[in-house]
Amino acid sequence: MKKLLFTVLCTACLCLSCNRSSNEQEEVDELLIYCGITMVNPIKELAEIFEKENNCSVTITQGGSEDLYQSLKFSHFGELYLPGSESYREKHFEDGLLKDYIYVGYNQASLIVQKGNPKNIPADINVLKNEQYLTVIANPDSCSIGKQSKKILQKQGIYDTVLDHAVLIASDSRTMNKTLHEKMTDVILNWGATAFFKENKDAMDRLKLDETIAPKKHLLLNLLSFARNKELAKKFMLFAASTRGQEVFRKYGFLDSVSKPGEIQTQ
């Protein structure tokens, strides 16, 4: 059963190795980062810079935040974990696998529509239950935006209605954005930063929700208890939270971290 679970989780995640030559002979230090799908673009760019400046190899495993946690818990292999919300640290902290952490920014749930908003959809959370529109939300059991969406919609008292109305319950943020690319849907509830990604910005627009409806969510980069290269991992943590690192996160639509610059928080 454990073998089957591991296979399923690993299949759900896509491993990306940044700039690593297949015929590389020199042995270098390695980092493995478990990264929620929404944050892959900035983390990949930071990893490419970090590899060049530190003569190391960085591998990024991407997927839904919960799936990633279950994968690292099973394998006990890797250095860092970046879920789409700090709630995953709170949920799994008692397992003892998530040690030091650093704030690398914020994300915020938003309504996202087709480019130019052809149906003139307002920035109102209630549009997700409006039968005029084709809607998609995410699964709360597989990814951070699904978990956050459920909280938002339950607070408004409309979760069950929205769930019944949705044409698709997506497994992750990327799948939701794909429905806009393919014009299968009119409006989705997704992390706002995804609307600014290079592959998405020409196909969709963000409708920002008030913070009283959709509060900002911290992004915490966590050091894993079983990390082999702890010092190198901490160096990457500091780099991600540095001025240079924050410029990369802003480039992909993420909000700045408000923590003290470069400060790793101990558990």
Q: Count CB-CB contacts under 10 A for residue 211.
A: 9
On whether the pTM is more than 0.75, the answer is yes
pLDDT digits (tens, 9 = 90+) for 113-166: 999 999 999 999 999 999 999 999 999 998 999 999 999 999 999 999 999 999
pLDDT digits (tens, 9 = 90+) for 89-113: 999 999 999 999 999 999 999 999 9
Domains of the chain are 30-106+218-252 (3.40.190.10), 108-208 (3.40.190.10)
Strands (DSSP E) found in the chain: 14-17, 29-36, 56-63, 80-82, 98-107, 109-114, 135-138, 168-170, 187-191, 204-207, 217-224
